[in-house]
Amino acid sequence: MNIVVCIKQVPDSAEVRINPETGTLIRDGVPSIINPYDLHAIEAGLQIKEKLGGKVTVITMGPPQAEQALRDALSMGADEAVLLTDRAFAGADTWATAYTLSRAINKIGADIIICGKQAIDGDTAQVGPELAEFLDIPHVAYVRKIDSITEDSIIVERLMEEGYDIVEASLPVLITVVKELNEPRLPSLRGKMAAKKAEIKRLTAKDIEAEESLIGLKGSPTQVKRIFAPELKKEKKMLEGSPEEQVQKLIEELKGLKCQFL
Amino acid sequence: MRIVVRSEICSGCETCVSSCPYTAIVMKEGKAFITEYCQLCRACLSVCPEGAIIEVMEEGEGVTVAEPSAYRGVWVFAEQRNGKVASVAFELLGAGRRLADTLGVELSAVLFGSSEESARELIKYGADRVYLAQEPLLERFNDEPYARLLAFLINTHKPEIVLAGATPIGRSFFPRVAAILRAGLTADCTAFDIEPGTGNLLQTRPAFGGNIMATIITPNRRPQMATVRPRVMKRLEPDPSRKGDIIYVKPDNLSSRTKVIDTVKEVSELSVNLQEAEVIVSGGRGLGDAKGFKLLEELAALLGGVVGASRAAVDAGWISYSHQIGQTGKTVCPKLYIACGISGAVQHLVGMQSSDIIVAINKNPEAPIFNVANYGIVGDVYEIVPLLIKKIKELKGL
Ligand SMILES: Cc1cc2nc3c(=O)[nH]c(=O)nc-3n(C[C@H](O)[C@H](O)[C@H](O)COP(=O)(O)OP(=O)(O)OC[C@H]3O[C@@H](n4cnc5c(N)ncnc54)[C@H](O)[C@@H]3O)c2cc1C
Ligand SMILES: Nc1ncnc2c1ncn2[C@@H]1O[C@H](COP(=O)(O)O)[C@@H](O)[C@H]1O
């Protein structure tokens, strides 16, 4: 079983904030981490390998520094790592990212591809399904449980708005996973040692024979026009007094509103 | 494009360094320097007091499409579940109608696997035309046939804008459509406008877990595609006298490599449909145990609402994940959101801060939840909520 896990290095967004007065991002020493959902994708890959044999390849497209994310994944137990890095990839939106990943995965070969549900910087959740389309394989998004997997098919639970669907797909397939799926393992000491020395395969645009007009900023249909701070909430009222008085005031306020809650 | 620092102007003030979400700016010999980390997000451009950071276009840059003007009209994808049109579809029609009127073009809806009656409903809510495909394969959501057929229709009719709900369905199959069409797709938008002059769709959405907002354009490709966050756009009042056409689509060669074996609804004592609820009473770690949710259910039932939760409460096992609100849970936008014992971590806020009215009940006056609340009560949930229940019951004569 050839298992490929797509991971992305992201700033720890819990700590990225915008200063509403100056409109600038405040982030003193925000660390770069593996996108949290992708840790679950790696764990899923490792579990499938433990069951069916094969190897887990982690792949990322990013700047040279993204190598650290790959080493972290290797220390969890991934077998091989591929870094897609090239100035020409910079500025890629989801379309160009998915295209670029598809070129590389076509070269590597995969029976199952696992992505995180979304990356916490862009929050788009688009790369997985777009990648599946480029590879011309089926996909199942929002997988929260893998019921069964064999060499040629997989049955999973897909999280939906009001519950879940049980979905069967033929392999090769791409899945995107949510956090409920599993608990990512911590790297072992031995894993860490091995990861330090492991060789990371680097691929450029030329290596994957990517069409120049389809990668990076050039290949990206969308453009960021403006970035700004979210508006802060309208007027705010603290309701003072004893608990009884506070509750009474709240009831009065709610009664005074146009919508009829009470 | 590249972002460059004009070092002769740079004063070395370092403002840009902290503005960069990717840590891509470092100081070198007292001047700002853009490293390979740069993702071209442009966050730094506006912050430099000297205007020393600029973007440089390179030759032949930007994808172009033969003729953007060959694309006309606004489309919305009307998602259905069990044949019934989902409420997000009506919201899309509300947003789509406004855009279509601004552009002076028609608004069409695309409906798969549902009835003529549902198609008529879409017309009442603002559609001029409905493309209806009634194949059995389309009755249940299935990524591949949905994506193929929609891409085919778009290629045939060439609308300039296509919107879908940012629901599990829309977010799953719409990217495939964009991939097929080589179209730009903007996720989870919360506001739209038409750019004067160019007619481009300005697509505004939260990024970085809601910490920043970004406006995205797709200047050189058509159609411009976006998914839209549920419960943000306003639906129109239905107008039974509205006229529109239903166009029957007869697809052939549809197939799927995935099969939905079963659809399971997960319901607790109080059935959760958070995204459609008008009132949500939400509990967090401050409740202390699962019993606290019984209290919240009572309050929710009195207000005709449902119960939500923070991740901390879900992780503690007090309530099921389907109630979770926030970055890793559901995004909700009820008329009234009552947060009980929730601190207001940013990951929770992004899922609920666009609610119309937010009430926060928390022991700690410093809790960040109060920053987004319209009404704040500093107090103990176990004191406040029973009182609230009592007063509401009195009011209702129960
Ligand atoms: C990548 C990522 C994704 C996440 N996604 C989500 C998400 O989707 N949704 C989500 O909610 N969180 C999410 N989180 C977690 C989030 O950061 C917070 O940990 C979580 O929201 C905290 O939940 P809480 O407010 O219930 O608990 P706490 O932060 O522990 O707050 C409890 C509050 O209750 C108050 N309190 C205590 N006792 C009482 C009482 N008797 N009466 C009144 N008030 C009382 C306290 O003052 C405190 O403010 C995510 C985190 C990460 C890193
Ligand atoms: N640059 C990238 N390199 C590798 N995988 C990526 C990259 N960007 C996104 N992905 C994968 O696609 C998922 C969804 O990302 P996004 O569409 O950006 O929200 C992530 O969880 C990753 O699995």
Give residue A37 CA to ligand 1 midpoint distance, Å: 19
Which SS3 state, helix, strand or coil, does residue B361 take?
strand
The b/e string for B158-193 (b: 16+ C-beta within 10 A; e otherwise) is: ebbbbbbbbbbbbbbbbbbbbbbbebbbbbbbbebe
Distance from CA of B249 to the nearest CA of A (A): 23
Same domain, B309 and B391: yes
Q: What CATH number does residue B365 fall under?
A: 3.40.50.1220
Structure tokens at A79: 């077998």
* Assigned domain for B348 exists: yes
**Smallest Cα–Cα separation from A91: which of A120, A64, A62?**
A62
Cα–Cα dist A200/B350, whole Å:
37
Pair (B103, B205) in one structural domain? yes
Query: CB distance from B9 to chain A under 8 Å?
Result: no
Q: Are residues B100 and B238 in the same domain?
A: yes
Give residue ranges with CB within 6 A of ligand 2.
A 6-8, 35, 37-38, 41, 60-62, 94, 97, 101, 115-116, 118-119, 122, 124-128
| pLDDT level of residue B126 (50, 70, 90 thresholds) | very high
* pLDDT > 60? residue A99: yes
The per-residue pLDDT for range B32-79, each reduced to its tens digit, is: 999 877 877 777 887 888 888 887 766 545 445 546 778 999 999 999
What is the DSSP-derived secondary structure letter of residue B112? E
Burial, A250: exposed, middle or buried (Cβ in 10 Å; 0-12, 13-18, 19+)? buried
Domains in chain B: how many in total? 3
User: Does B371 reach chain A within 8 Å, measured CB to CB?
Assistant: yes
Q: Domain residue spans in chain A?
A: 2-214
Q: Whose CA is nearest to atom 37 of ligand 1?
A: B286
Same domain, B244 and B277: no
CATH code assigned at B48: 3.30.70.20
Q: What is the SS3 assignment for B325?
A: strand
Are B48 and B82 contained in the same domain?
no
Domain A2-214, what fold? Rossmann fold (3.40.50)
Q: What is the pLDDT of residue A184?
A: 96
B254 located within any domain: no
What residues flank ligand 1, with Cβ below 6 Å?
A 14, 36, 120; B 284-286, 310-313, 324-329, 341-343, 345, 347-348, 351, 361-364, 367, 380-382
Higher pLDDT, B83 or A25: B83
What is the distance between the alpha carbons of residues A69 and B126, in angstroms, rounded to a whole number? Answer: 48
Distances (CA, A) of B311 to A143, B286, B374: 19, 12, 22
Instruction: Residue B1: give the domain boundaries.
Output: 1-56
- Residue B75: inside a domain, yes or no? yes
What is the pLDDT, as a whole number, of residue B328?
A: 80
Query: B354 or B176: which carries more pLDDT confidence?
Result: B176
Ligand 1 centre to CA of B309 (Å) is: 9
Nearest to A78 by CA among A70, A67, A86, A68: A70
| Residue B154 phi, psi (nearest 5) | -65, -45
B242 lies in the same domain as B272: no
Distance of alpha carbon B163 from alpha carbon B43, whole angstroms:
27
B345 part of a folded domain: yes
Pairing of strands B31-34, B25-28: antiparallel
- Determine the average pLDDT of the residues in B136-151: 95
Ligand nearest to the CA of A7: 2
